[in-house]
């Protein structure tokens, strides 16, 4: 007789047991309980709402969807609307035109059919054109794999590359924990490289070289380098010269460059700009034969923030046709990604253009969201920097602040007694006192002896002053309680 799964944890896959993913970990479960509490017993806590700053989930905090995108999605969901005269009054002319264009690319106009395993060809054409327009270099629709958000694409790459624990992937610390979780689940070795907090979370090539050398000397077969740009959780936007060094490093060392570029539309620093690693490598003269490069993108971030649609893609370049067949096979086993997500992924890469009926309202919606995010990033940065013992680098991009807290010894000791990491201890106290949910730095990795938390910049602007004041008050009380 096998295990009794109704009573034991034994006999499960040890890699699953080992895997950790803090973004939706225990603190979030606790927050959900508090929220239930608040509904059932209003006034039972010193706050009246839970503020989920743990996850980059803009619409959950009130950000509105881009109207044009939703118009197109609704028409593609219910194409019979296109036969009705009332539709012209309800939808913009260009959303109707775009929906027809998309439907005409699908056999039988069937948005309810499985598509090609890589995604609908016409949508991949649009995405490839969008990449070309962005980068100024050609992109091939056959290199595009549409996926349910970026996460399954990352898993596919880890599954392809990792055959045993001897296979290593270089990952930043701090990092978005999808990477460590995926490496653990696929049984590989996570090789950490540290971003340099003192210089605003810079990525130093010497650090990459050292970690690679050490790993190789231990016999690890290092296969790929993960770079997140703009950075999550750091908010750092890489400088072009730095990106060139990274490309050169991967080319020289024969590493696959796994580029998480999901925040490419979220750049707030006026002196910074997003460049894709594909553009950088092509502008250095490197082609398909020189570097294997995968770029992940998602409809969940940017100004659109459509997390629930699970739309995304990867651009997969510099691999042999035989390897492409293998990744195609992996995509085929899951049949295809969801068609609404596929449509949305194509829309974010081909939004309304000057002259389209929706262009002005679209631009107004987009600019309002991005400029508000930039203001919120700055307000939170200033607020965190004004707290005792807290330093916070500028969020140049992405959706997060990642402040460092110098915790008093007494707090560290109290955390030890509570059997939790000091920054997790701080985050729990914050939640219980204010209803604000953040994720402690230990969920992302950090240099030993340093403590951080990640807080999204997503609460609606009008709520930020109250949040800052609640946070400030909590922090003061916390420090008063634990200061030496």
Of residues 283 through 342, those in contact with a second copy by CB under 8 A are: 288-290, 292, 300, 305-310, 318-320, 322-323, 326, 329-330, 332-341
Helix (H, G, I), strand (E, B) or coil at 228: strand
Number of residues that bind a second copy (CB under 8 A): 108
Report the site for a second copy in 43-72 (rule: CB under 8 A): 55, 57-62, 65, 67, 70-71
Residues facing residue 258 across a β-bridge: 226, 294
Least distance (Å) between residue 476 CB and a second copy: 30
Q: Which of 39, 41, 89, 206 binds a second copy (CB under 8 A)?
A: 89
- For the chain, count helices (H), then strands (E): 17, 14
Told to check if 5 binds a second copy by CB under 8 A, we report yes
Site for a second copy in 146-175 (CB under 8 A): 148-149, 151-152, 155, 159-163, 167
Q: What minimum distance in Å lies between the beta carbon of 159 and a second copy?
A: 6
- Measured from the CB atom, the residue of 407 and 436 that comes closer to a second copy is 436
- Cβ 256 to a second copy, closest distance in Å? 6
How far apart are CB 187 and a second copy at their closest, in Å?
8
Query: Which of residues 253 and 357 has its CB atom nearest to a second copy in the complex?
Result: 253
Does residue 159 contact residue 314 with C-beta atoms inside 8 Å? no
Structure tokens at 280: 């950088």
Residues 38-50: b if buried by 16+ CB within 10 A, e if exposed: beeeeeebeeeeb
Instruction: Give the chain's length.
Output: 484
Which residues from 100-129 bind a second copy, rule CB under 8 A? Answer: 107-108, 110-117
Task: Spell out the residues 6+ positions from residue 348 whose beta carbon is closer than 8 angstroms to its own.
Answer: 69, 299, 302, 304, 311
Is 157 or 468 the residue whose CB approaches a second copy more closely? 157
How far is the C-alpha of 316 from the C-alpha of 469, rounded, in Å?
46
Residue closer to a second copy (CB basis): 20 or 133:
20
Q: State which of positions 397-456 bind a second copy (CB under 8 A).
A: none
Residue 449, sorted as left (phi over 0), alpha (psi -120 to 50) or beta, turns out to be left
Q: Nearest CA to 234 among 427, 471, 399, 382?
A: 399
Asked if 24 is part of the footprint of a second copy (rule: CB under 8 A), the reply reads: yes
Indicate whether 254 belongs to the interface with a second copy (CB under 8 A): yes
Q: Outline where 168-289 has alpha helix (H).
A: 178-185, 205-217, 240-253, 277-283
Binding of residue 181 to a second copy (CB under 8 A):
yes
Identify which of residues 9 and 241 has a Cβ nearer to a second copy in the complex: 9
């Amino acid at each position: 007789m096998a295990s009794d799964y109704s009573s034991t944890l034994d006999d499960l896959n040890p890699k699953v047991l080992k895997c950790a993913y803090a973004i939706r970990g225990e603190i979030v479960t606790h927050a959900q309980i508090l929220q239930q509490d608040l509904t059932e017993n209003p006034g039972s806590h010193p706050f009246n709402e839970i503020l989920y700053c743990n996850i980059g989930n803009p619409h959950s905090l009130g950000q509105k969807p881009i109207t044009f995108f939703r118009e197109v999605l609704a028409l593609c969901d219910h194409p019979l609307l296109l036969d009705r005269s009332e539709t012209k009054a309800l939808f913009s002319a260009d959303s109707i035109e775009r929906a027809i264009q998309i439907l005409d690319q699908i056999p039988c106009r069937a948005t309810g059919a499985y598509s090609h395993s890589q995604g609908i060809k016409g949508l991949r054409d649009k995405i490839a054109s969008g990449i070309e327009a962005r980068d100024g270099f050609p992109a091939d629709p056959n290199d595009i794999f549409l996926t349910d958000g970026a996460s399954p694409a990352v898993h596919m790459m880890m599954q392809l590359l990792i055959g045993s624990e001897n296979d290593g992937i270089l990952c930043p610390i701090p990092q978005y924990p999808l990477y460590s979780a995926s490496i653990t689940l696929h049984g590989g070795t996570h090789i950490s490289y540290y971003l340099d907090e003192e210089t605003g979370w810079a990525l130093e090539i010497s650090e990459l070289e050292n970690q690679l050398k050490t790993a190789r000397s231990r016999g690890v077969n290092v296969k790929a380098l993960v770079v997140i740009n703009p950075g999550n959780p750091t908010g750092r936007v890489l400088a072009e010269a730095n990106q060139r060094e990274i490309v050169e490093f991967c080319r020289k060392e024969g590493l696959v460059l796994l580029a998480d570029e999901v925040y490419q539309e979220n750049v707030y620093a006026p002196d910074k700009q997003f460049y894709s690693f594909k553009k950088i490598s092509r502008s250095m003269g490197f082609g398909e034969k020189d570097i294997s490069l995968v770029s992940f993108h998602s409809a969940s971030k940017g100004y659109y923030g459509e997390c629930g649609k699970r739309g995304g893609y990867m651009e997969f370049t510099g691999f042999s046709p035989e390897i492409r067949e293998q990744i195609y096979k992996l995509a085929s086993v899951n049949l295809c990604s969801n068609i609404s997500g596929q449509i949305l992924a194509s829309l974010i890469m081909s939004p309304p253009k000057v002259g389209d009926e929706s262009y002005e309202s679209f631009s107004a919606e987009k600019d309002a969201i991005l400029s508000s995010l930039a203001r919120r990033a700055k307000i939170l940065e200033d607020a965190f920097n004004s707290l005792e013992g807290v330093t916070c680098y500028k969020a140049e991009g992405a959706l997060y602040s990642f402040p460092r807290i110098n915790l008093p010894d007494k707090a560290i000791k109290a955390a030890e007694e509570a059997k939790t990491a000091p920054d997790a201890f701080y985050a729990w106290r914050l939640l219980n006192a204010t209803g604000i949910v953040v994720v402690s730095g230990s969920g992302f990795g950090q240099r030993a002896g340093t403590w951080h938390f990640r807080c999204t910049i997503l609460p609606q602007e009008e709520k930020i002053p109250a949040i800052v004041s609640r946070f400030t008050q909590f922090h003061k009380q916390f420090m008063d309680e634990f200061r030496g």
